[in-house]
Structures are given as C-alpha cells and as structure tokens.
Structure 1
C-alpha cells in the first residue's frame, strides 16, 4: 500500500505500455485458440473484447501506467498479476452465471490466462532489466539533489538509494545551516549551501531538486523557489509530517487562486465512477448468489423469535448524512434512539439464531441492498450508531473524517482485527486510525484486496458477539 497522497505522473510512454498490454492479451488469446484448434468465432471475439475492457478498467483504477520512477517495481508486478487474475475470474464467473461455460474451450481459456500472465510479467521484467542496464552505465540517469538535511530529506535519500530502478542519482544535500546545527543527522553528504545548489542547477547539472524543509518555513521555501526559477531544473516539494497527515491532498483552484485540499474525499472524477460501478456490480452479483441463504436466514429468525426479520438502524453515511442501515434482527430489542448499548459477550438481548449470525457476520448481508441504493459501499469505514458517533466525535481526533466516503460492509479496520465492541477509547482510536489510512490510500485494487481478505479472515472474529 502506497502512502502517497498526490497523483502520480503519467509519462508519454504510458500510451505505449497500454498498447503493449492489450497486444499481449490479444496475441496470447489468438495463440491459445490456434494451439487447441479452436475456431475464432464471434463469441470468442466478444469474450476477448469484454476481457480487454475489464483489464483496462482495473488497470486505470490502480494507476498501473504511472511513471516507472514512481513506486516500487514489485508492486507493479503484483498489480499486473492481480488485475489479470481478477479479469479472468470475472469472465469465468460471468460465463458460469450465464450458463455459457460449456460453449468455450476450458483448456484454451486457462492457457490464455497462464500465458498472458507470464508474458505480461516477463515484458516488464525485461524492460526493467534494460532500464537498469542503461542506468548503471549512466544512461537515462537523472541527477538529483536535496535541499534541507532534515528527517524527511533523509527518508527521501534512503528511498532513492534503496531503489536504483527509479533512475535517480542523488548527489547529496544542500543546507544553509552549518554542520554543527544539524541535530543528530549525518553531515557527510552535506555538499554546501542552497546557493551552491542553485548554481549547479543554473549550470544544468541537476535535473530535479527536492525541497525538504518544514512547511512552516514558508518564506524560506518561497525564496528558494524564486531563486530556482532562473534554472531549468524540476523543483519538487517533499511534504513534511504535517502535510502527510492531510486527508487526500491534491492541487485545485478557485478561479486564478491555487488551493491544496486538506480534508477531502478521494472519490472525485473517474475515481467515484470506479468505486460506484464496482459496488453495483459486486453487490448485485452477491445478492443473486446468496438469495437462497437470505431466505433461509429470514425463515430461521421468524420461526425462533418474535419481531420483524429486518432491523433498520440510523447511522451516519457520506458527509455525515443520516441513512437507515439494514441488518437481520439478532436481538430481542431494537435500539435506535439517543442511547444505544453495544453488544457484549454473553449479552442476554441476543437471540440464539442472532448469536450465530453476529459471530459469522451474516446479520450484515442485507446491507448489500444499502449498497445498491447508493447509501453504502462494499468497502469503507463501518457505520456506527448515531449515538456512538456523537459520543466519540468529541473524544477521538479526526473521527468525523471517516464520513468523507460511504460507509462499508467490510473495511480495512475490520480485517486488521478492530471490529466488535469498542469498550475502550484506545480501540476506537485504532479503528479510526485504520479507517483514515484506508481513505488516504484508496484505490480499486485496495478494495479488491480487502474483499479477498474478508472472505478468508473477516467473517468470523473473536470480537464479534
């Protein structure tokens, strides 16, 4: 998971990378058809077209084609493998649901999946090997420098040193402070003053200059930027700890005035489209598959205790607006007022069937209807009762920022063990910490990852009762 809060650059070569991926998938598909003697009719062409559309959709949602100088190469390979696998599984699931699986060659499709996965990874590994070979010989290697021997500057330097594939050669630090004033930081890489860095930039010796100074040093940063304006070097500001704690920073503007968002949802533009379309497709498919299970649970509740099958409780949704969240009734009472008591171990209010439903999280299944209605998402911070929101928003810093996205059926906090009763303030603080971490780092791939982890470890939990 990346900790970046600003958008990655999309290099011109990203168009070529997209083209190569699609050609690989088409080429391996045709080769698989030929290998097993399968005629290429319109059904196979439709299947290929749908698969390419799904692959492209997922690839764009996780910024697969960002610059190779951004992020880790291992993460790129993991993204490629996951995207191709999810695309294939969705195609197989679709054929199964439409009862068309028997019309297609299983051997050819499996061969296409395995061959495509191998070639998609192989071409990237080969391209990286070529890039590394060139960079070790000083070709396509960018000379960079860091202004500010600070903790954030040192962290940046370490990242550059550890990841040679980024293609950066960091020559060292520049700082106006004398070595004796640099507290507990190594000074052997201190090459000179800021003016020395400016002179090197003017001489064309530096491609990029990173300014790693505290954001509170506004005048100093503005002066350095002004002096570097007389150079052709790329100038970048590395956020300090204050800036990195922002919700989802991005550059915007109001008229001619530039702005940086402080607390803002990551769901804007196409990101919102990706998130919502995933929610609709996933929840719709799940509801079709589990409809018999829903009827069985409803019958069990009705036959074993008095009261309605479903319970609708007020929660805070997107932007703190009230929504009604559906659950299978698991208690003898239905609290929805100003004071809601969380379920405890061996709670007498819980019915016999309800205890099983709560322990396995099956009581949450009706919330897929909330997802279809647009009130919730498949993945997001779990919604709390209104009474709990009003209590904890006064005690936990940034608590209400959980509501900058739609609440989810499952979430990053839940699969990391922070679910169930929050009988201490620390437990709620940890839940909020993970919720905000999810919002800062959201991507469609992150959602898919959480869903997979929920399937294998998120339903049953010792803290759910």
Structure 2
C-alpha cells in the first residue's frame, strides 16, 4: 500500500469520526428543510475510466424543473436554502470522505467528471484518468468559484467546454507530472482558505 493511500485512509477515517456530529446535524437540516434524500449520488468517471458513485449532501430540490449538467451560480433556482449555505462553505463535499475511505477517490487529485464530458476528451486528455480523482487539487483551487463564472457566461456549457475544462485538464496533467506527498499536503492546506475566501 502506498503512502498516498495510507494517508487517504487515516485522514478520511479521522475526519469522518471528528466530523460525525456536524454530518449528523447537516443530515437533519437537509431532511427537515426539503423533501428528498439526504445524499446526492451521481455516476462519475474515476481511475482507469471506471464509473463510481460520488456521494454529496443533496443541495438541490428533489426534482428540479430545469435539469442541466452544470450549476449556474449559488442563486440557481434549483438550490435549496440549506443547499446554498452548504455550497458556500463546500460542506456538501464532506460525504466524499466516504469515497476516499472506500478507495474510489483520493484526498488530492483531478476532480471526477461526468461521463458526458469525459467522452469529449482527446487521447492526450485521457491521461488524467490514470490517477484516482480527488476531493481537491490544482484545478479545484483555481476554479473554486466555477459556479459564479458559469453564471456570468451567455452559454454556460459552451464556456465550460471551451474555456474552463481545457484549463482544468492542463492543470490536472501538471499535477500528475509533479505529484508528491508534500505537494498533496500543500494543496490540502491551500484549499482551506479558498473555502472561506469571497474571491
């Protein structure tokens, strides 16, 4: 077992234990504030192009009328009141610690995409599927305000495909070339201030 995997297990398990009261509180608030399940489970593409179920706290209405692949800003009409708060502080991402513990994901790595977008990758882009996807990473930090960027675009999906995704893939390839345990620790530490930044 690698140092990275050892770290993922220890970190995710410790975090899940320490955060258990918060996770329970969030679950209760989601359940009493809107109809539907506590968790949002969605197919994403992981290591070696294998699909897995990513786990998040549900932040949208159970059956939104305007379905779409992308979330357009934190005032997207599909987002619930508690969902807006969870997204603001990235608390909706916490259940992904379960994905890390299971081995579907790592703490640091390229963010897992929907199959819809992966099908548009070039042969060179598929390199990012040679490592486990992560909760945070170079691209995640750079585009921590992605939803707001999409909100300002005339055609959000086209903007994502033509502007954001290519740069994300470039950053993910850079991470793969430079990855190390020290870099992973650095990226985890850099993620924390990004969560609370208004920029």
- TM-score category of the 2 structures, normalised to the smaller one: 0.7 to 0.9
Query: Is 1:405 aligned to 2:131, yes or no?
Result: yes
Q: Shift of the alpha carbon at 1:430? A: 1.0
Query: Where do residues 341-420 of structure 1 align in structure 2 (5 Å cutoff)?
Result: 341-345=69-73, 346-390=75-119, 392-393=120-121, 398-417=124-143, 420=146
Query: Is 1:426 aligned to 2:163, yes or no?
Result: yes
- Out of 268, 282, 285, the residue aligned to residue 14 of structure 2 is 285
- Which structure has the greater CA radius of gyration? 1
Q: Shift of the alpha carbon at 1:403? A: 1.1
Partner of residue 297, structure 1 = 26
Ranges in structure 2 where 5+ consecutive residues have no aligned partner: 151-155
TM-score (norm 2): 0.85
Query: Is 1:323 aligned to 2:52, yes or no?
Result: yes
- Out of 179, 183, 186, the residue aligned to residue 446 of structure 1 is 183
1:48-89 CA distances to partner (integer Å, 9 max, x unpaired)?
xxxxxxxxxxxxxxxxxxxxxxxxxxxxxxxxxxxxxxxxxx
Distance, in Å, in 1 between the alignment partners of 2:114 and 2:89 is 20
Please, what is the CA RMSD of the aligned residues? 2.1
Structure-2 change in CA distance of 1:461 and 1:433 (3 Å): farther
Query: Where do residues 243-262 of structure 1 align in structure 2 (5 Å cutoff)?
Result: none
Q: Shift of the alpha carbon at 1:387? A: 1.9
Structure-2 change in CA distance of 1:299 and 1:382 (3 Å): same
Query: Is 1:436 aligned to 2:164, yes or no?
Result: no
1:403-425 CA distances to partner (integer Å, 9 max, x unpaired)?
11111111111222365246321
Q: Shift of the alpha carbon at 1:347? A: 1.1
1:18-41 CA distances to partner (integer Å, 9 max, x unpaired)?
xxxxxxxxxxxxxxxxxxxxxxxx
Distance, in Å, in 1 between the alignment partners of 2:17 and 2:107 is 15
Partner of residue 5, structure 2 = 276
Aligned length, in residue pairs: 185
Q: Is the 8 A contact 2:35 2:62 kept in 1?
A: no
Distance, in Å, in 2 between the alignment partners of 1:369 and 1:376 is 9
Structure 1 counterpart SS, 2:19: helix
Distance, in Å, in 2 between the alignment partners of 1:274 and 1:317 is 20
Structure-2 change in CA distance of 1:340 and 1:400 (3 Å): farther
1:299-349 CA distances to partner (integer Å, 9 max, x unpaired)?
1100100000011100001011000000000001469xxx84201022111
Q: Shift of the alpha carbon at 1:380? A: 0.5
Distance, in Å, in 1 between the alignment partners of 2:176 and 2:68 is 27
Structure-2 change in CA distance of 1:418 and 1:289 (3 Å): closer
TM-score (norm 1): 0.38
Query: Where do residues 47-446 of structure 1 align in structure 2 (5 Å cutoff)?
Result: 273-333=2-62, 340-345=68-73, 346-390=75-119, 392-393=120-121, 398-417=124-143, 420-421=146-147, 423=156, 424=159, 425-446=162-183
Distance, in Å, in 2 between the alignment partners of 1:340 and 1:387 is 12
